[in-house]
Every structure is written in C-alpha cells, then in structure tokens.
Structure 1
C-alpha cells in the first residue's frame, strides 16, 4: 500500500511540474524525443497530448536564402567571372557558341551590316540601307535551301543560330541610333537590347532592330525590322534555350534607273527626277520563328560538394530541339507603273495571270524536331571532349498561287525529310582543337543528301601572344531548293528537275592578332552548280566550277596612326556561273588619340572600298533574286562591250569617339561623289549607290 501511494504521489508531481512555464519547450525526461510547441507527450508517441500548454512565440529569424552560382558546363571559370557575356545556342548539338558585345570604337562607323563582312570588304548592294545585298566574297554568299527568296536579306535576318542570349550580373541595356541625309531621303537605324538575370543561371532578354531609308531615287524606300525574345537556363545539369523571332521587310522596288547616263554623264541636284523602271512595285516579307532546345546531363558517378560543374566529369546528356518557322512573301506591281517609251524595252516580258497588275504571294513553313545524345567520356575540354549523335525529322509545307486555284482549293505541297547526324570534337588545353561532323538523309525529300567535314586549329603563344593556324575541309551533296524546281507567278514560271549539287571546299587561315596579321585561302569546286542565268531564270551548269580566294589582312600602327588593310583576290573558272571581282579592297586610315585620358578617346580618318570591274549581278524584284547579268552596251565608238560594274572607289570621312560608355560617330559618306573616280558608282547593274551625305550615330550601354 505504501508503495502504491508513493507511485501515485510521483505521478502527481510530474503532472504538477508539467504546468510550469517553459516545460513544454524542453525535451522531457521520459524518452519521447518530441519537442513540438504546445504539445507534451507522456510515454510512447501514442500517449496523451495536453493542448492547454502555454503558447511558445515562433522564431521569426529566417535563414538566409542561398543564391546558387552559375554552374553551367557550357562556360569556364574565366567566362563566369565576366560581368556580362553573350552566346548563341546550337539547335543540333548540346553546345553554345560564345560571341562578343560590340562596345569598341574600332569600326563603329561601319553601320551597314553587309559592309562588315570579311573585315569590311563588304557586299554588292542596291545602294540603299534595308535593300537586297550579296557578298563580294563568293565563299560567304548565302545559299538558302529553305525559302530562297529571303537570301537577299541575309545580312538583316535574325535566325536561332544568330539570336543572342546573355548572362549579366547587373541589368544590361544597350541603345543605338544612326541617321543621315535630308528629311525626305532620311536613312536611320534603331537598335535596342535589354537583358537581365532571374538567377545566376536563368535570364531573359529582348533585342529589337529597325533599319531603312526613305530612298534617294524614286520608289527606293525600305524598312527592315527584327524582334528577338529569349529565355535561357544554364544549370548544373539541365539547360534550356527558348525564343521567338520576328523578321519583317518592306521594300519598294524601282528595278534600277532607266539610263545609266543620267548618273555617269549628268549631274542632277534632285535624284528623284531620274527615270526608273518601276514606280509602284513592292516586296513584303514576314517571318515568324519559335524555337526551343533543352538537354539534361547525367554524371556517370556521384558528384561531390567540390564539383562546381559537371564539365570535368564523365557524363551523358540527352536533349531535344524544336523549331517552327514560317516565311511569307508578296510581290505587287502594276503595268501603268512601268517605264514606257519607244526606246524602252518592257521590264517584264510575260503577264501570265493578270495583264494589268501583279499580286504574287509565296509561303513556306518548316516544322523541325531533333533528338540527340551527347557523351562526355572524360573532360569536356579533353582530347576527346564530346561525342554527339542525333536524328531529325523535318516537315516542309509550300504554297504558291496556281491557275487551278480558280476552280479548286489549293492546299499547297508537303515534303518530309529524315536525317541522322553526329560529331566528335576535342582539344588539348588552349593549343590544339579538332572537330569532325557528318549528316546524312537516308530517306525522304532530301534522300541521299550528305554533309561531311572537319576542322583543326593549332595555337602557340610566343611571349604570351596567340598565333593560330587553322584549316577545314567539307563535302556537301544537296538537293536543290523547292523553289528552284517549282515556281509560278505573273511574270515568271518554271518547272525544273535539277540534279543534286556537290561542293568540296578547303580553307586554311593563319592569324597573329598582336601584329595585326591574318592570311587566308579557300578553294571550292562545285559540280552541277545551280544559278540564275542572264535570262533571269534558274539554270544548272553542266560540269564543275572552281572558285579560289586569297585573303590578307595587315594593320600597321605608328604611334596613334593606324593603317588597316584588307585585300581579297578571287578567281572563278566560270564567271557566267559564279561572277567575282578579281580584287576587292578595304582600307581604313585614321589617327587615334586621347582627348581626356580615361574619359574621351577620338579617331579621325578615312575609309575606302574598291573592287575591280567585272560582269556583276543584276537584280530582279519579281523573283527577289540576284542573277548573272550578261548585258552588252555601246561605247563612244559604237562598239559593243560587256556591261561591267566596279572600278570605283567609295570613300568615307569619319570621326568616331568613345566617351565613357557612349560611342559617337560623324561621317561624310561617299565623300568623293563627283570629285574622285568619275560617276560610275554602281555595285549592281543599273542601281547607283547613294550620293554624298552626312551621317551621325550614337550608342549607349547601361549596366544598372
């Protein structure tokens, strides 16, 4: 009995103690191990809970959120350390290609995108910003297999492999504005970029460009607009790039001037009174692109806390890419808007659909899906860095007006194509890199098409300066684009069955930037080359065409004096198939100095471009293509000779400055107009370049 009372008394004591403040916040001595607020448990976890225990004030101290650093395997330590860097995604492989943000004063005065090619040698163009252009360097001429009508605008178009993605430690904004000429002939460009991070690995950006002119000559205005939206996440294992692109162009087409003598033999104060072939013709282009590429990396062994990135660990990546692109083009004109006269040859010979007006529209869409695997055997930057393999499936849809549309609904034409591809690449630190890749279409629309190539690069660093020798070889067998075989419009119609083209290309480059030297040579041999002939129709050359290019760059510097030289020599075995000028030259001579050291730097100098005479291109608005014009004209002695373009120096006087984060230039474009070189300033037959005018440009960068 005494023992029973003792046990009861002990239990009462514990119960009384439980009413004491603070007891519920201690681990009780009965072995429950529970320490929850407002709860006391007796015995096992299934014991009684006292809900009348005093309330405990919650701990309001929050643990600081850990902000993960950028851990992507795409970028090395030096890249991650930058305040901002930019890259382009690759939709075929689990790779990105790093680029640069142009904030330098050098070359800032060259605002035409097609004049920056080959270090400034540039292109043949219609004379106005926003219009059609084609590179003087044959190796750089675009050859669109999809919607070939757009290749004349290649210098302006944004594509997924050109779209910028950014990583920036602070929000980044970049604005540029260029303008020049009289108000009625105003030429202007507006570029705007904004990028910012959601996290160190996740960011978004927007790029916008608007470029064009009201035109110097009648019906010459043009406007090109581009919008690119991007979202990216480059994490430790998972990466995604997604974007939307909108390209638009509205081009007034005058067909060239009626009489070249109005430029070469006469001085007109009002160029708009010079007669042109077409006064109301117009081309309109629209392009919408949606794309996405993503991948997930799986390390082949467990990562430790010290593994900042999987770039140095054996891994397997699986990925998927998606692209949907749709292009639309409309060409319009009227017969009443065309030049007339007894000595005027009709600009268009045929009017197949409507005898008084044209309204030709073409449409093409591409739906592309790819699935790929990437193996990283050891180190991503090792001798065998990555091995890639993938399979792709493309669905093409084409539409153009056909005469049967009057009776039946035209649903267009569909083609499908399946292909497999792969690559392997590696490097030995910064000294040697190599790559080999291949793509093959086993069946479908482009059955038996094949593209195989490889690149190597060797670098040495005497006194810390890079000297690089690189080379490449490529074999490309390709099916002609759909529009080369099939086209019907008011002025042109054709139905062809061209054979596949086969091109073999070799190139080698030597570069030593610290002494301003770059030397290059390339050789291409093309069999069954397809081109637009003198009759403005597509044709196929029966045989092989060889084009050789030799490029040299040398920059001299004497104190603040800069003497920069770019020279390209080209040789074509068939000028009527691949026309090229023998020599194309770009010279930039300027003096650079500090106005206020560390604050304001200034360049004052001259830019000059020149290419030798050759039977250059003509341009036809109705098909939106450059063609190999073979036109004969009479000289002063009534002897017929082949019409040639070139042989004219085009000189600009400029002053460019960089003040902190702002760049400014003032340029007298075509300084030598009617002063040096005569007046034969044509780079495309019957399309004169702009006359002399003043241009001003500004560019700001903000990191706020």
Structure 2
C-alpha cells in the first residue's frame, strides 16, 4: 500500500504543476467548446462526446480521444473511457469475455484461444504474453481536453494471506486547442494464490500531441518493468481435481500449500521505447460557412491539405534476465543445463526504425476520391545472447546484427459515411528479411436500413514472413537453438464481419491458410526404466516448423438481448484447425452475461447486477514454458486435455456521476462438477475469492 500511496502523491504533484501551466495558458485555449472544434467522432465522422461550457465560472468539461497507427500516425477516434458496462471485467487477465488462457494470477502470461485475435509476434517476443499491461504505440490513447482530465483506477482481490492489487492512473492536459501532453502509470502486484507465482509490474509513459493545420506530431516515451516468479505449475493435478486423495481424506489443501514444480526461478523483462511520428502538410485555404446561431452564419477559412511529408521514428531497448538456481527441484524439471553453475542468463535487443513517406490526400478536389501514400523504412536490430562458458568465470556473449530495408505504398478512403477502405503493400528489398512481403486490406460498407445501419466489414492479407529472431537463435540456461534454415511463413487470410447495431448482433467469420507454420514445442525425451516403461518427463523446448499447409476456420457470433431491465449478452466462437496436434484450438468458446440494469435514487445511481460464465470445449491446450516465458505445444507423449469447465462470477457494477465501482465473487462455482479449473496444463486458476474495483474521472 505504501507504493500505491507514493504513486498517488507523485501523480497529484505532477498534475498540480501541469494545472498551473494550463491556467497560465488558458486564455489562449479559450473558455468555450471551440477548443474541441474537431470533436470526438466515430468511424463515419459523426460527433460522439463533447460537452460545452455552461458559463465562465464553470470548469470547462469536454474531451475527445484517439489512437494512431504506428506506421504513419493516422488518427482513429475512440470513445472516452467513461463506459460503465462490464467494468468488472476490465482487470481480468482472461479478457473481457474470458477468451484468454493464462496461469491464474493477475498479470500472468496469456494467450488468446481465438486464433484470429492473436497478434503477430514482435521481435522481442518475451513481452508479447503480457499485453494486458504492455502497450504498443497503437495502444496509447491521446486526449484533447478543455480542462485537466484525470482517471484513477484501483483493483483489489481479497485473500486472507495473498491477494492482488492494481493501480492505474491517466492524466491529460492541453496547453491550447492543438497541443496536449499527459502520462499514464500502471502498477500491478499479484502475490499469487499459489506458491512461487508472484507478479510485480511497473509500467508507465509520457505522451504528447500537436495537431495543427500544417504540422502534426505524436510522441510517446514508455517503460515496462516486469518481474515474474515461475513455479512450473502444480506438482500433481489431483490437488485440484481430488484434494482428499492427496491428503488421505483428512483435509483439503489451501491453494498456497499445494507443492509446485519450481521455486527460486524468476523472469525479469525491462523495456524502454521512444516513438515519434510527424507530418508536414502542404495545401490551401478555402472559405466555409459556419453556423453561429440559428439565424446567423459566419465565413471561416478552412485549410485543405493536399500533400503530406511523413516521418516516423521508433527506438526500442529490451532486456530479459532469467534467474534459476540449481537446486534439486530445478534439476528434476529441466532436461538440459547449458551454463553449469551459472544461475542467470540474459538477452538484450535494441532496434532503431525510421520510416519516411509522402502522401497525396483524399478529397482535396472532386477527382481525389482516395488517398495515396508511398513510403520507405529502414530498421537496424542488434541482439545479444548468452554464450557458452568454456573459460571459467568468463562469459562470452553472442552478438547478432540485422538490418532491413523495405518499400511500400497505401491506397485509402477514409472520408464519407458509406464506404471506407485501406489497401497496403510492403516489400523487404534488402537485409535479413529480404523477400518478405505483406499485402493487406480492409474496408467497410455502411447501409442505412429501417432506422438502423447495417455494417459490412472485410479484411484480408497475404503475408510472407521471416520468423522473428528468437525463433532463429536463442541461447539460455536450459534451451539452446540456432535455426538458420527456417523457411518464410506464408499466411493468407480472408475475414468478413456483419453488424446490426440496433439488433445488437455481430457475426464474424473467416478462413486462413498457413504454410511453414513455425511454433515452439516441448521436445523432452521421457525417462524410462530398463523395461521401457515411462517413469517421468523433463522439460525442454525447441522451434518446430511444419512445411505443409494448415487451415483455420473461425466464426464468432455476438448477440445482445434486452427485456425491460433484464439483459443477456452472449458470444459463441467456433474454430476448426486442420492440424490440431500442431495448432491446437478449442472447437467452441462461449461467454454469457445475464444481468439487470436499472437506475436508483432518481436514476443518479446506475446499477448492473448479474452473473457471467466462461466456457470452452476440451482440447490439448498449449503448455507454458517458464524458461522462456512462452506458451508451447505439449509433449506428444505426455498430453492432457483442459476445458469443459464453466467459470462463473457474480457481480454488482455501479456508476455514480463520475465514479464507477464493482464488487465481484469470482469463481463462485469452485468445487462443483469435475473441479478441473485449468486454463493451462497444470496451472489452475484462482479459487473462489472476492474482487473489488474503483475508477474515478475528474476535471480540475
């Protein structure tokens, strides 16, 4: 708690300093809603959320938010985070609809069961499983606000011995209507309800934006610090499935008393990121009428951009440290020990990427029906790996340097209400990834019908990708590979989406073909007795590549129903993998949320009271490798199925003015049915517990 109070104090002091700056410059900003003249807008350009000022003595309240793409800095407006619905799930490592497999603890590594929702692996894939807290440039939210905007959120899982806590803060302020700055802090501490499973994260960042007629800029600096204790899963699943058998019928085990496979093992990831995208626009001014009152108009000068010169810089510094002491327990778990008595292995990665482009804008005259952009990128990458210790007390490090030069272009239509599309192509012409290419496109058609809008969306891509560096090279205490002969991965996907907003219906379906699918697998050799009977398995991992074709079929239906104050939200996902032994997926994943939604105290207090359930069918889900911090395929000779177990939560979700809070009984059905509550092999989820969350928005 001391750390949390320190964070709150730090944020308060920073906000006061920035508030003084805002007050000094407030005359430039103005005391009317004109500072938000662009307004928050949806995908069709319609205003979403802006509140005008009542009078000069009232704190001006009004804001809009957006995200950018990490290549050109193109803006996509997003809703301000004031929504109350499903607030109780915003801190769930399993995702808003329980679509992720994870290790049970808050912030632990996770992997989406919905294959089409998985992101491509990054060059530093150790932090990819932590996307609950690790943000990429395209995840950062920028805000334009009439007055300083602050959000504080606090989450707590109660337990008599071990609990979970998370504190998040977000602060944004504008010096004037074009220039804004802010910061975010995300502190997470999960002590772990099972032994040797704690998580301690401290992530944060600064951001700034300037959006003028001729010059636009977005800047991000953020840092990730992730410390994870690894326990290798519980020693025997029967501590969960048949606890009385493990105690000779005398008692049930508490979760933190269950023995685990590992202790004294940690992963520590640190990252520093600098991102800046800017563009300079050339164009002209034209006159435009603007309504002042119902009976009067004025003529204003509007800038029309014609050509933009774009530059994007991205700098990444990543480090990973794996600590594993050679006690008897660890020696039984791992098949290899390549570093002798050394307890630590390290890897580092640095990257600098520059992208320059020139863009011809859409809509500057009646013939310009689409925008056109040409670009070139150059990336330099440097990797350091642990090498063997041939000479006592001398550690040699393997260094790998790579560079990639790429060219590409984009054709896009973003204006208007009926049709939008974007087609992008990129080809690596020199360097480590030479021959790699990517062609992708997406579009949407919006058809007004019977007072509703039917939205048809489509996206498709063809990618020929070089496996990321750590698939090609990795040296560590327990795993070691050099795969210079890996082929490029060819992926082809076609996906469509149909949405009826008024009916609350969304249907998404697609198919993908993958050639040379590259993955991690447990390749350990079983320990056998003289008669060939398997005694035990140790842990090893290697990169495998399937040279054939794998097809994945996916369909997801989301439906929202309402009967007065009674609501039912549901999601059903069907998937089929043609090679379940290589790319395992559950055939069905389901989520349901039944709740009442009503107003209390003259509708000042909004209440959601209900229960939700998560469920997926049995399958040989990927196991988790603590020595590399990744999910990998189970050993084919030692596979177990997980799934076919519902996880039920009951909750009360309340909203009072600018404050949201919830109380939840998590996993209320513990002990019912088969009690096989695993979301990864040998990693049970947390037992029944109470969770609480609070989020507060304020302007001052």
Q: What's the TM-score, normalizing by structure 2? A: 0.85
Cα separation, partners in 2 of 1:372 and 1:130, compared to 1, 3 Å: same
Alignment correspondent of 2:488: 500
State the secondary structure of the residue aligned to 2:243.
coil
In 1, the alpha carbon distance for the partners of 2:372 and 2:342 equals 56
1:379/1:385 contact within 8 Å kept = no
Query: Does residue 317 of the first structure (1) align with residue 308 of the second (2)?
Result: yes
Say whether the 8 Å CA contact 1:454–1:473 is kept in structure 2: yes
Residue of structure 2 equivalent to 1:278: 262
1:208 aligns with one of 167, 181, 185: 185
SS at 1:335 equivalent: coil
1:654 equivalent among 651, 654, 675: 651
**What is the match of residue 325 of structure 2?**
334
**2:272 is matched with which residue?**
288
Q: 1:487, 1:495 within 8 Å by CA — same for their partners in 2? A: yes
2:698 is equivalent to residue 702 of structure 1 = yes
CA shift for structure 1 position 187 = 0.7
1:388 is aligned to 373
In structure 2, the partner of 1:105 is 84
Please say if 1:78 is aligned against 2:50: no
In the alignment, structure 1 residue 449 sits paired with structure 2 residue 426: no
2:67 and 2:78 in contact (8 A); partners too: yes
Q: How far off is 1:542 after superposition?
A: 1.7
| 1: CA distance, partners of 2:621 / 2:216 | 47
- Structure 1 stretch displaced more, 688-697 or 149-158: 149-158
Contact 2:437 2:463 in 1 (8 A): yes
Q: Residue deviations 1:441-475, cap 9 Å, x none?
A: 11111101100021121112224422201111100
Q: How many residues align?
A: 621
Distance (Å, rounded) in 2 between the aligned partners of 1:701 and 1:648: 37
SS of corresponding position for 1:541: strand
Q: Provide the C-alpha distance between the structure 2 equivalents of 1:66 and 1:224, rounded to a whole number of angstroms.
A: 37
Using the TM superposition, give the Cα deviation of residue 492 of structure 1 relative to its aligned residue in structure 2, in angstroms. Answer: 0.9
- Counterpart of 2:405 (choices 409, 413, 418) is 418
Q: 2:504 aligns with which of 516, 526, 529?
A: 516
Q: Matched residues in 1 for 2:637 and 2:435: separation?
A: 42
Larger radius of gyration: 1
**1:229-286, CA deviations, whole angstroms, 9 ceiling, x for partnerless residues?**
1111101111111120111111000000111111110163422221111111000010
SS at match of 1:690: coil
CA contact (8 A) 2:596 2:610 kept: yes
1:403 correspondence with 2:372: no
Q: 1:100: Cα distance to partner?
A: 2.1
In structure 1, C-alpha distance between the alignment counterparts of 2:352 and 2:278, rounded to whole Å: 17
Q: Residues 66 and 553 of structure 1: is their aligned pair in 2 closer, same or farther, counting only changes over 3 Å?
A: closer
Pairing partner for 1:688 from 684, 687, 692: 684
Q: Distance in 2 between matches of 1:266 and 1:126?
A: 20
Query: What is aligned with 2:575?
Result: 570
Q: Indicate whether 1:367 and 2:352 are aligned.
A: yes
- Residue 657 of structure 2 corresponds to residue 670 of structure 1: no
Gaps of 5+ in 1: 1-63, 341-345, 634-641
Structure 1 residue 235 corresponds to structure 2 residue 202 = no
**Cα distance change of structure 1 residues 358 and 447 upon mapping to structure 2, 3 Å threshold:** same
Q: Within 5 A, what are the aligned runs for 1:299-310?
A: 299=283, 301-303=284-286, 306=299, 308-310=301-303
Summarize the Cα distance change of 1:381–1:219 in structure 2 as closer, same or farther, 3 Å threshold.
farther
Contact 1:113–1:156 at 8 Å: present in 2 too? Answer: no
Cα 1:544–1:308, aligned 2, differ >3 Å: closer, same or farther?
Answer: farther
Where in structure 2 are there 5+ consecutive unaligned residues? 1-26, 52-61, 245-251, 289-298, 524-540
Residues 330, 549 of structure 1: alpha-carbon distance in 2 compared, 3 angstrom cutoff: same
Q: Is the 8 A contact 2:40 2:48 kept in 1?
A: no
1:347 aligns with 2:333: yes
Partner in structure 2 of residue 532 of structure 1? 520
2:551 pairs with one of 546, 551, 556: 546
Out of 411-420 and 257-266, give the one that drifted further. Answer: 411-420
How far, CA to CA, are the matches of 2:388 and 2:573 in structure 1? 47
Correspondent of 1:223 among 197, 200, 210: 200
Seen in structure 2, the aligned counterparts of structure 1 residues 66 and 429 have a Cα distance that, compared at 3 Å, is closer
Cα 1:326–1:611 shift into 2, 3 Å: same
Question: 1:161 is paired with a residue of what secondary structure?
Answer: helix
The answer to whether the Cα contact below 8 Å between 2:201 and 2:224 also exists between their aligned partners in 1 is: yes
Which secondary structure does the structure 1 equivalent of 2:171 belong to? strand
Distance verdict in 2 for CA 1:600–1:397, change over 3 Å: same
Deviation at 1:552?
A: 0.3
Report the counterpart of residue 478 of structure 2 in structure 1.
491
Q: Normalized against structure 1, the TM-score is what?
A: 0.84
- Contact in 2 for aligned 1:416/1:444 (Cα 8 Å): yes
CA distance in 2, matches of 1:385, 1:134: 37
Q: Is the counterpart of residue 142 in structure 1 residue 119 in structure 2? A: yes
Within the candidate set 134, 151, 158, 2:135 is matched to 158
Q: Distance in 1 between matches of 2:229 and 2:395?
A: 33
Taking the aligned partners of 1:591 and 1:121, their CA distance within structure 2 comes to 21
Distance 1:314 1:156, change over 3 A: closer
Q: Judging changes above 3 Å, is the alpha-carbon distance between structure 1 residues 483 and 405 closer, same or farther for their aligned structure 2 residues?
A: farther
When the two chains are superposed, the root-mean-square deviation of aligned CA atoms in Å is 2.3
Distance change (3 Å), C-alpha of 1:380 and 1:374: farther
Residues 680 and 514 of structure 1: CA distance in aligned 2, closer, same or farther (over 3 Å): same
Q: Distance in 2 between matches of 1:166 and 1:379?
A: 27
Task: Flag the 1:252–1:687 CA change in 2: closer, same or farther, 3 A.
Answer: same
CA distance in 1, matches of 2:254, 2:39: 60
Change (3 A) 1:206 1:628: same
Question: Are residues 308 and 186 of structure 1, via their aligned partners in 2, closer, same or farther at CA, if it must alter by over 3 Å?
Answer: farther
Secondary structure of the corresponding residue to residue 82 of structure 2: coil
